[in-house]
Structure 1
Amino acid sequence: MEHPVQFLSEAGHRLMGILHVPHGPGRPAGYGLVLLNIGLHYRVCHNRLFVKLARALSREGYHVLRFDTHGVGDSEGEIEAGSVLVHFDRVQRGLFVPDTRAALDHLSRELGLERFVLAGLCGGALTAIHTAAEDRRVQGVIFIAGPMTVTSPTEDREFHPWEAGQWLAGYRARLRNPRAWARLVSGKSDYGMMVRALVVKMHHRWCQMWTGSALGRPGAAPGGHFNTHYLDSFQRSLQYALSRLIPTLRGEGREGVVRLPRAR
């Protein structure tokens, strides 16, 4: 069973989501799961991945929440204007952590849950690890394809290779469009952007092929864009996990692993 829910963010925005309630023969698990958006995508995810995942987990006995962060989907609020790369950078540095904590507060208040697992894909994975570093109610993180580097063009360049690739993909898609060719011939196209995107992308490929660095100038250190915010959150989360795990293992006198409890 699933139904819509709404709750307030720390900034006072009304956030909208879908709560999947456990059903079937198993008893409800003591954990709540929250599925976190890919960057600026809304709660459904690509190919309805989060919908399918939430329904499958609810059949296993878990309460699962998937929700829209502020300024995304059906939720209130606005995201500060900027290029898509600037938005990605903000997400990677923890933009949606307050919204995620508000979601945990809602589940605690309405369902009495105090232990949570956060699952995120790409930018959602980083939101999960940043939240886990700040909120001790988070007992586990499912980290799927989280980027280790920041994509903001403000790091050390004005035009990121990813952005150049998006421009070139758009140009390729219009190759069979007569109107696009008419704009090109009439001088209405942005020739400077075309050349700039092509040069940046070719330089990026050259770096990958000959220097082993996909992030910067030929011979540049590959760590120039590393997301230090992620590293800090990961270390804090790991330290907390070990502080709970090691005494338990010592008390049992044997090695063990941490597993997500399965409802029975």
Structure 2
Amino acid sequence: MQIERPLIIQADTEHTAILHEGNSDTGVLVLVGGPQYRVGSHRQFVKLSRALAAQQLPSLRFDFAGMGDSAGRVADFYQRDAEITVAINAFFSAQSQLKRIVLWGLCDAASAAMLYCYRHQDPRISGLVLLNPWVRSNESLAQVKLKHYYLQRLTDKAFWQKLFSGGLNLSSSLRDFGQTWRQSRQKSKPLTQQRGDNINAQNYTGYMLKGWQQFTGNSLLISSGNDLTAQEFLALCRGNPPWQQQLSKAEHQHLDAANHTFSTAQWRQTVEQLTLDFVQRLAGADPGLQQDS
């Protein structure tokens, strides 16, 4: 019988988490990206934890401050290290058999996990599961839009029908295209030119890279084909040798048709199975797990 119970974690503010108990010494800390609720596509976090618990792998679903049922104010994703530390400590206290955990995050939660590894060399973390990490900048978004959005529109029959029927504001579209092209030519400031350790919205990707480089455990990257966020991340890796090197060290699974949140049952179950196999390998058990459909 699976046991799920809430944890009230007192820190600077009151956090709420849901513990899914298991007897394995390897657990999964599920970090939620962005202000989410637990229905729709993000029901996957509940289903993922239950799939893990079915194999006796414990997990903790943690609400950051100001999100879900946690009190306080929402912090930027690059300022969540203290909260992640609180969650890790609570997880180990609640499941005394734990020896290691995996950080699991989608979107900016994946980015937060990588930034945590920059600030903390935590031996308790043996794995990262990163889904469509957030590396948004004006430059990267513009480059991806040029390649995946504008080119796709040129092959779209509806676009040409709209153009020739007069339903398209051509001057506005050309102006948007020109602005996107100019942004795509901008160059981000190298991390080596940053002062101190003040991680912010302009420089966080460089620190994400450093965190990934410093991390000595195993990584699983799951990317979506139908998602600009994923395309930005993969483009960053393709165009930057240090990022490419880190990606080559990780296990990379690409779901070509999937959207950002893996919002169909098939995509969700694939993510569950990939996560299960990855965590079981870290735990030293055989993969090939069975799960409920």
TM-score normalized with structure 2 length: 0.53
Mark the CA change 1:50 to 1:201 in structure 2 (over 3 Å): closer, same or farther.
Answer: farther
Cross-structure match for 1:102: 86
Mark the CA change 1:139 to 1:200 in structure 2 (over 3 Å): closer, same or farther.
Answer: farther
Q: Partners in 2 of 1:139 and 1:200 — Cα distance?
A: 48
CA RMSD of aligned residues (A): 3.7
Give the match's secondary structure for 1:117: strand
Mark the CA change 1:204 to 1:52 in structure 2 (over 3 Å): closer, same or farther.
Answer: farther
Cross-structure match for 2:283: 261
Unaligned runs of 5+ in 1: 23-27, 81-89, 162-196, 208-215, 243-256
Give the match's secondary structure for 1:217: helix
Mark the CA change 1:217 to 1:235 in structure 2 (over 3 Å): closer, same or farther.
Answer: same
Bigger CA radius of gyration:
1
Match 2:117 to one of 113, 125, 132: 132
How far 1:63 moved relative to its partner? 0.9
Aligned length: 184
Mark the CA change 1:260 to 1:78 in structure 2 (over 3 Å): closer, same or farther.
Answer: same
Mark the CA change 1:52 to 1:119 in structure 2 (over 3 Å): closer, same or farther.
Answer: same
Cross-structure match for 1:232: 210
1:234 partner letter: W
Contact 1:126 1:230 in 2 (8 A): yes
Does 97-106 or 220-229 show the bigger shift? 220-229
Give the match's secondary structure for 2:33: coil
Cross-structure match for 1:146: 133
Q: Partners in 2 of 1:98 and 1:66 — Cα distance?
A: 16
Give the match's secondary structure for 1:260: helix
Q: Partners in 1 of 2:80 and 2:179 — Cα distance?
A: 30
1:203 partner letter: G
How far 1:108 moved relative to its partner? 1.6
Q: Partners in 2 of 1:53 and 1:59 — Cα distance?
A: 10
Mark the CA change 1:47 to 1:78 in structure 2 (over 3 Å): closer, same or farther.
Answer: closer
Superposition pairs of residues 40-119 of structure 1, within 5 angstroms:
40-42=35-37, 46-79=41-74, 90-91=76-77, 94-112=78-96, 113-119=98-104
Mark the CA change 1:263 to 1:63 in structure 2 (over 3 Å): closer, same or farther.
Answer: farther
Mark the CA change 1:54 to 1:218 in structure 2 (over 3 Å): closer, same or farther.
Answer: closer
How far 1:228 moved relative to its partner? 0.9
2:117 partner letter: A
Summarize deviations over 1:203-245 as a string: whole Å, max 9, x none.
355x2xxxxxxxx5364347887711211111111xx349xxx
Q: Partners in 1 of 2:38 and 2:116 — Cα distance?
A: 18
Give the match's secondary structure for 1:65: strand
TM-score normalized with structure 1 length: 0.58
Query: What is the aligned-residue identity percentage?
Result: 26
Q: Partners in 1 of 2:184 and 2:70 — Cα distance?
A: 44
Mark the CA change 1:98 to 1:48 in structure 2 (over 3 Å): closer, same or farther.
Answer: same
Contact 2:126 2:282 in 1 (8 A): no
Summarize deviations over 1:46-90 as a string: whole Å, max 9, x none.
34110110000000111111021011121011136xxxxxxxxx3
Mark the CA change 1:31 to 1:200 in structure 2 (over 3 Å): closer, same or farther.
Answer: farther
Q: Partners in 1 of 2:206 and 2:18 — Cα distance?
A: 33
How far 1:4 moved relative to its partner? 1.2
Contact 2:105 2:131 in 1 (8 A): yes
Mark the CA change 1:49 to 1:218 in structure 2 (over 3 Å): closer, same or farther.
Answer: closer
Contact 1:60 1:262 in 2 (8 A): no
How far 1:199 moved relative to its partner? 7.4
Unaligned runs of 5+ in 2: 143-171, 191-201, 219-250, 252-277, 287-293
1:68 partner letter: D
Contact 1:121 1:144 in 2 (8 A): yes
Q: Partners in 2 of 1:62 and 1:45 — Cα distance?
A: 24
Mark the CA change 1:198 to 1:261 in structure 2 (over 3 Å): closer, same or farther.
Answer: same
Match 2:186 to one of 196, 214, 220: 220
How far 1:106 moved relative to its partner? 0.7
